[in-house]
Amino acid sequence: MKLTIESQNKEEIQMVKSYNSQIKEIEAKIKKLDEKHLFDGFPKQKYDVYMSELESKMLELVEEKTQLNLEISNLDEKIDSCVEITKNVSKNWGLGDYQFKTRLQKLMFPEGIVIEPENRQYRTSKVNQIFLLTSSISRDSEQK
């Protein structure tokens, strides 16, 4: 599941890596500029101008990286929680309150469900991929 999430977000992950690399480069330039100013007598006016430019660029990169909102610090925990919910849907449904059931239904059927009034059958055009994957794995393990 972690590999699936990473492959679906490959481009964004590459962008985060690129931002991290650019940020490290700027940090190195800031360090070098500080050393020049402190040890080599680099003029204060030029130092201030260059430092301002570097800090501005750094802030811009950090903001752009933050907007990607990709970093999930506890991805493994979230995946484990997701697996538990998908393995025990009927149990969780029975134990959940109205708000939980509504959220679970929207998670399972992102485009909603429709009831055919003639025969009271429920229809949906799309099921969340996680539930399809879990169902497929369950069927495969039952057949063995």
Q: Give me the residue spans of the domains in the chain.
A: 2-68, 75-143
Distance CA 79, CA 99 (A): 22
The pTM of the full predicted model, rounded to 2 decimals, is: 0.50
Higher local confidence (pLDDT), 11 or 137: 11
Q: Where are the alpha helices (DSSP H) in the chain?
A: 2-8, 10-39, 44-68, 75-87, 89-95, 98-108, 129-143
pLDDT value for 105: 85
pLDDT value for 4: 67
The count of other CB atoms within 10 Å of the CB of residue 26 is: 20
Distance CA 140, CA 93 (A): 24
Distance CA 72, CA 84 (A): 19
pLDDT tens digits along 104-122: 888 888 888 888 888 888 8
The mean pLDDT value for 80-87 works out to 78
Most confident of 1-10, 24-33, 62-71, 113-122: 24-33
CB crowding 45-71: b at 16 or more within 10 Å, else e = eeeeebeeebeeebeebeeebeeeeee
Alpha carbons within 13 angstroms on the beta-carbon side of residue 3 total 0
